[in-house]
Amino acid sequence: MRRFAIVGHRARTSGDFSLNDLPGGAGRMDVLCRCVNTAFFLSHDLRKDVECYLVLLGDPAPPKTVRFSGVHLRSLNPDERSAAALLKKALALPCGDEFRESSPGVAVRQGGLARLIEDMPLALLHEEGDDLRNVHPLPSGYLLSDHLNFTPEEEAVVQDMPRISVGPVSLHADHAITVVQNELDRRQHGWN
């Protein structure tokens, strides 16, 4: 199973945002939707062996975590509004400490980064980490930030994670996911 978790520092935590204003009123939900799409979509297929976690920290009820599970996902199309519509539905659902399904393959719970890293091992994708190409074997789970850097409080939570870099320049989060997926694909198919 491949896992990607992305922290959305300003992402709205209720379903009241407009699909027409994902970058503004929804708190850069467009960035997170692109990450979801990049984690799952192949040219004409959807990766079943992927889970994508969005840690949402914006108003009005942070933190919340939304989980997308490839094996059960339905109704996800490769455009930002499609992922955002699934998120809107998830965030409209009252939730507690355990994941609650809002649509096939999509579930939401109350809780943030500290809880998530208790649940699963993750490596930090970071510009100053070890070169992905020199890491053997590669981890199966990765944590990224959205368009903002991690806060000092978050840095404290992630300080013991292995740090892996996909290259010398800072990329958009969804592009960094593409590079990781490509390297995992290459190794899985014996291309190295």
Ligand X SMILES: C[S@@+](CC[C@H](N)C(=O)[O-])C[C@H]1O[C@@H](n2cnc3c(N)ncnc32)[C@H](O)[C@@H]1O
Q: Under the rule (CB under 6 A), what is the footprint of ligand X?
A: 125-127, 144-145, 147, 149, 165-167, 169-173, 176
Number of helices followed by number of strands (H, E) in the chain: 5, 8
1, two tokens: 């199973």
Comparison of 95 and 177: residue with beta carbon closer to ligand X: 177
CB of 76 to ligand X, least distance (A): 22
Nearest to 86 by CA among 33, 41, 13: 33
Element (H, E) at 42: none
* d(C-alpha 185, C-alpha 67), whole Å: 22
CB of 31 to ligand X, least distance (A): 8
Comparison of 86 and 132: residue with beta carbon closer to ligand X: 132
CB of 32 to ligand X, least distance (A): 11
Residue pair 91/43 in contact (Cβ under 8 Å)? The answer is no
Comparison of 101 and 127: residue with beta carbon closer to ligand X: 127
CB of 191 to ligand X, least distance (A): 21
